[in-house]
Structure 1
Amino acid sequence: MDQQTVGERCGGTVIYRMACLIFIDTFRMGKSSTIRARIEPDLKGKVERIFQQLGLTTTQAITLFYKQVELKKGLPFDVAIPNEVTRKTFSDTDAGRDLIICNDADDMFKKLGI
């Protein structure tokens, strides 16, 4: 499959072309393993609708995720445990404490002194 065909199938952007090439290469191989996972029904429904908009099945999306983990030798996004300051900030904002309300981006930058 040439790049033009891949680009048309995947929306025509460079990012989609790369993902599609990985996708095409991955699905040429035979599959014999199964993954089973329990997930919240609401989250599953929301994510599957996104996959549908992207033209992916859940199996294809999981395979892309696994391929990215393999390529990056780790998760394809940052995962961090919040420190004490971050946990306190989350707790305070969840409780409605110490909030600074901004009308728009300009107001926010002004309040931040930027």
Structure 2
Amino acid sequence: MSTTKKKPIHISVDEDLKEQAELLFNDLGLNMTSAINVFLRQAVNEQAIPFEIRKINSETLQALKDVENGNLRGSFSSVKELMEDFNA
């Protein structure tokens, strides 16, 4: 039996996020403590955050907003037309 000492971590998170996370973890057979321990162990094992974190540039952010708002350009009739627009 392991005699590893445990130390509590106190964090504050958005109430909705916590509820959604608890539902997900429950579906995965985990509780919040187990899920956080999995994250921490994986971070230590990889010596990094165990998923990609990146900043979205302003053009990508605007494109995502355009898609969400239905502000899309018309379709292209050929790859050439698409590439001309892309390179413009």
On whether the aligned pair clears a TM of 0.5, the verdict is yes
Identify the structure with bigger relative contact order (alpha carbons < 8 Å, sequence gap 6+).
1
Q: Which residue of 1 aligns with 2:44?
A: 70
Runs of 4+ in 1 over 3 A off after TM superposition: none
Whether 1:95 and 2:79 are equivalent positions in the alignment is no
Q: Which residue of 1 aligns with 2:86?
A: none
Paired residues in the alignment total 74
How far does the alpha carbon of each residue in 1:31-73 deviate from its partner, in whole angstroms, 9 at most, with x for none? 3321111111111111111211222121111111000000111
Quote the Cα distance in structure 2 between the aligned partners of 1:43 and 1:59. 15
2:32 pairs with 32, 38, 58, which one? Answer: 58
Whether 1:80 and 2:54 are equivalent positions in the alignment is yes
Kept in 2, the 8 Å contact 1:51–1:61? The answer is yes
Q: What letter matches 2:45 in structure 1? A: L
For structure 1, list consecutive stretches of 5 or more residues without a partner in the other structure. Answer: 1-27, 101-111
Kept in 2, the 8 Å contact 1:93–1:99? The answer is no
Could you state the TM-score of these two structures normalised by the residue count of structure 2?
A: 0.69
Could you state the TM-score of these two structures normalised by the residue count of structure 1?
A: 0.56
Q: Over the residues paired in the alignment, what is the CA RMSD in angstroms? A: 2.2
Whether 1:45 and 2:28 are equivalent positions in the alignment is no
Q: Percent identity between the aligned chains?
A: 30
How far does the alpha carbon of each residue in 1:12-45 deviate from its partner, in whole angstroms, 9 at most, with x for none? xxxxxxxxxxxxxxxx452332111111111111
